[in-house]
Structure 1
Amino acid sequence: MIGEISVRELADWLADDSRPQPLLLDVREDWELERCQIAGSRQIPMNLIPLRHNELPDDVTIVTICHHGVRSYQVALFLQNAGFDAVLSLKGGVDAWASNIDPAMAHY
């Protein structure tokens, strides 16, 4: 089972300089990132994860991000099966982030 993290938990984590910061892995398509994104995130579109997951560090927690949390959950499961130990999926995705954390962020 994949762990999920709420947008509030992630926002608190990102604001806490005493904690090692996670890698924010945005798995959405280019056109989606052009509309909005969480600052500091790194993009690898979902369809390229099987080809590029070896580019990801295995010594930090990875938080996968998508629009509503479905694709990110699937990518987190793939990464876990590929041997990554610390993977979380952002529950509700950027839509929940825009609604609850950053009201200036565009919705789509």
Structure 2
Amino acid sequence: MAANIVSLSARELADWLADPARPQPLLLDVREGWEFEHCHLPGAHHVPMGEVPARLAEIAAAPAVVCICHHGMRSMQVAAYLARQSEGQVFNLRGGVDAWSIEVDAALPRY
């Protein structure tokens, strides 16, 4: 079982993703389909929050998972679930895609 959930700022995640020497995490976007279609981080995997339990084996296979939603609340719930269910490292993107748009990539549409 994962010991805890690490909260990452958008800048911290961007730095991680830009570091070729660091193993890359699974970017798990847990928003609804229309939200994901509107905007998402490059490389994000879409698994709506309600589908996470059914797809746990697929998600838990990743050594590190960063949970993402609009503002960081739904993703924190998923992160807590994953922390109880898996052995990998679990992270939550604090402020969600909205923070990413503000702090990292202004071209990512806000809603």
TM-score of Structure 1 vs Structure 2, range by shorter chain: over 0.9
Shift in Å at residue 24 of structure 1?
A: 0.3
What percentage of residue pairs aligned between the two structures are identical? 51
Report the counterpart of residue 70 of structure 2 in structure 1. Answer: 67
Equivalent pairs counted in the alignment come to 108
Report the counterpart of residue 87 of structure 1 in structure 2. Answer: 90
Shift in Å at residue 84 of structure 1?
A: 3.1
Report the counterpart of residue 30 of structure 2 in structure 1. Answer: 27
In structure 1, how many angstroms separate the alpha carbons of the residues matched to 2:42 and 2:62? 21
Mapped pair 1:96 → 2:96: no
What RMSD in Å do the two structures reach over aligned CA positions? 1.1
Range with greater deviation from structure 2 (36-45 or 75-84): 75-84
1:101 aligned partner, one-letter code: V
User: Which ranges of 4 or more aligned residues in structure 1 deviate by more than 2 Å?
Assistant: none
Range with greater deviation from structure 2 (52-61 or 32-41): 52-61
In structure 2, how many angstroms separate the alpha carbons of the residues matched to 1:85 and 1:55? 12
In structure 1, how many angstroms separate the alpha carbons of the residues matched to 2:52 and 2:38? 21
Q: Which runs of 5+ in 2 are unaligned?
A: none
When normalised by structure 2's length, the TM-score is 0.92
Q: Which runs of 5+ in 1 are unaligned?
A: none
Report the counterpart of residue 76 of structure 1 in structure 2. Answer: 79
Range with greater deviation from structure 2 (97-106 or 78-87): 78-87
1:70 aligned partner, one-letter code: M
